[in-house]
Homo-oligomer: A and B are copies of this chain.
Amino acid sequence: MDISKADSGARRSGTAGDVWLRPSARKGRDAPPLSRDRIVEEAVTLLDAEGADRLTMRRLAERLGTGSTTLYWHVKTKDDVLDLALDMIFAEVLIPAESRGWRADITALIDGWRAVLLRHPWSAALLSRPMLGPNVLARSEFLYATLLRAGAVEPHLTAAAYGLSNYVIGSGLMQATWPTGAGQEARQAAQEHLRAHQESYPALAAHGPHVAEADWDTGFALGLTWLLDGIQAGIAGK
């Protein structure tokens, strides 16, 4: 291939290289062309790696090998990026293919949902924006359809759908927030603070979530069972 020689020659001279080499020599390395999908993808990995307050249009653009202002051709605003990122990770929540009964189906959905929230801790804090992306809607659809097929009617239907959603969201928010593992110095400080004021908070100091590594999983499962039992009773008693 003589092209490589021509290339290096062009690079050695300060002037522009050969025409047919220039467009393929992309920004950073061998980056695919910029696109909305690529932006959102990169946003998710940036969020996963550094958290929500480190996501900046400038930093995001830098990772993509462009200027920050270029992003605005593909995306209207930073909030759009966040909305798109939030919907993208929802695609990871598996929708049960074949039914094993409504309780099992819903449990699978909710567990998957929770897993995603914990896998992408930044997402829990973003739940305060209305979620209307296709991936979110598809999973809401599954939830409603499953409840309807199980025989739920109003007001139990809405209460069930909301109750389940709110429960996962709250749980995900709490656990994602909680200083775990790395941020253990914060947890320890909280623990000491509680012990120092244990005359004010005796029950909390003795049994509170700050004292021991909480068993989030069984706690979550227990609460979910209570909710599902209630829904089931509502259906049976129509």
Complex CA distance for A129 and B51, rounded to whole angstroms: 13
A interface majority secondary structure: helix
CB-CB contacts below 8 Å: A127-151 with B: 127-130, 132, 134, 137-138, 140-141, 144-145, 148
Partner of A170, one of B129, B160, B170, B225: B170
Chain A residues in the interface with B (C-beta under 8 A): 124-125, 127-130, 132, 134, 137-138, 140-141, 144-145, 148, 155-163, 165-171, 173-174, 176-179, 186, 190, 193-194, 197, 200-204, 207-209, 214-216, 218-220, 222-223, 225-227, 229-231, 233-234
CB of A158 within 8 A of CB of B204, answer no
Partner of A148, one of B201, B203, B216, B222: B203
CB of A155 within 8 A of CB of B222, answer yes
Q: Inside 8 A of A229's CB, which chain B residues have their CB?
A: 226, 229-230, 233
Q: Inside 8 A of A207's CB, which chain B residues have their CB?
A: 144, 148, 157-158
Complex CA distance for A137 and B141, rounded to whole angstroms: 38
Partner of A141, one of B127, B193, B203: B203
Partner of A222, one of B129, B159, B202, B215: B159
